[in-house]
Chain A
Amino acid sequence: MTEIKLTIGYDEYEDGQKMETLIAELAEKPEAAQLSSLIIGSWGGAYEDSSESIVAELVRQKDRFPALRSLFVGDMDYEECEVSWIMQSNLNPLFAAFPELRSLTIKGSTDLALGEVRHAKLEELIIICGGLGKSVLASIAAAELPALKKLELYIGVDNYGFDGGIEDVMSVAKPGLFPNLTYLGLKDSEIQDEIAVAIAQSDILDNLETLDLSDGTLSDEGAEALLASEKIRRLPQLDLHYHFMSEAMTRRVATELPNADVSDRQETEKYDGEEYRYPALTE
Chain B
Amino acid sequence: MIGQNAGSPFPGLPDARITPLLLIAHADGERTDGLRRARLSLGLPEPIIVSYEQLLAGVPLHAAAEKAGLPTGTAPFIRLDAPGEHFGVERALIALGSPEHDDGDSLLPLRERRDPYRLSEKAALSLQEQPIRLMHPSQWFRGFCRLLDRIRGEALQAWPQARFWHDPADIATMFDKRACHRHLSAAGVKVPTLLAEPETLTGYEAVREAMLGKRIHRVFLKLAFGSGASGIIAYQINPKTGAEIATTTMGAEVYVQRPGIFYNSKKVRSLTDSESIRTLIGYLCGHGIHAERWIPKASLDGRPLDLRQLVAFGEAGHTVVRVGESPITNLHLRSQRVTPAASGLSDEVLTAAKNEALAVMRAFPASFSAGIDVLTERHTGQPYIADVNPFGDLLRRVLHDGLDPYAWEMQRWTESGGAEADTDTIGSLQGGTQE
CB of B238 within 8 A of CB of A7, answer no
Given contacts A78-B327, A79-B299, A79-B304, contact A9 B379 (CB under 8 A): yes
Q: Is B86 an interface residue (CB 8 A)?
A: no
The interface centre, meaning the residue of A11, A42, A47 with most chain B CB atoms within 10 A of its CB, is: A47
Chain B residues within 8 Å of A48, by CB: 238-240
A10: min CB distance to chain B, Å: 6
Chain A residues within 8 Å of B239, by CB: 47-48
Q: Is B243 an interface residue (CB 8 A)?
A: yes
B260: min CB distance to chain A, Å: 19
Chain B residues within 8 Å of A7, by CB: 379
Q: How far is the CA of A77 from the CA of B327 in the complex (A)?
A: 10
Chain B residues within 8 Å of A14, by CB: 215
Given contacts A9-B380, A48-B240, contact A80 B296 (CB under 8 A): yes
Given contacts A47-B217, A47-B240, contact A82 B297 (CB under 8 A): no
Q: Is B236 an interface residue (CB 8 A)?
A: yes
List residues of B (362-421) whose CB comes within 8 Å of A's CBs: 377-380
Interface of A is mostly: loop
Q: Is B270 an interface residue (CB 8 A)?
A: yes
Q: Is B58 an interface residue (CB 8 A)?
A: no
Q: How far is the CA of A42 from the CA of B304 in the complex (A)?
A: 16
Interface of B is mostly: loop
Chain B residues within 8 Å of A42, by CB: 296
Q: What is the interface size of chain A, counting residues whose CB is below 8 A from a CB of the partner?
A: 17
Q: Is B245 an interface residue (CB 8 A)?
A: yes
CB of B270 within 8 A of CB of A85, answer no
Given contacts A9-B379, A283-B270, contact A82 B236 (CB under 8 A): yes
Q: Is B73 an interface residue (CB 8 A)?
A: no
Q: How far is the CA of A79 from the CA of B297 in the complex (A)?
A: 6
Closest chain A residue, CB of each to CB of B304? A79
A204: min CB distance to chain B, Å: 30
Question: B residues bordering A, Cβ < 8 Å?
Answer: 215, 217, 236, 238-241, 243, 245, 270, 293-297, 299, 302, 304, 327, 377-380
Question: A residues bordering B, Cβ < 8 Å?
Answer: 7, 9-11, 14, 42, 45, 47-48, 77-80, 82, 85, 87, 283
16 sampled A-B residue pairs with Cβ under 8 A: A9-B377, A9-B378, A9-B380, A10-B295, A45-B217, A47-B217, A47-B239, A77-B304, A79-B296, A79-B297, A79-B299, A79-B304, A79-B327, A79-B378, A80-B378, A283-B270
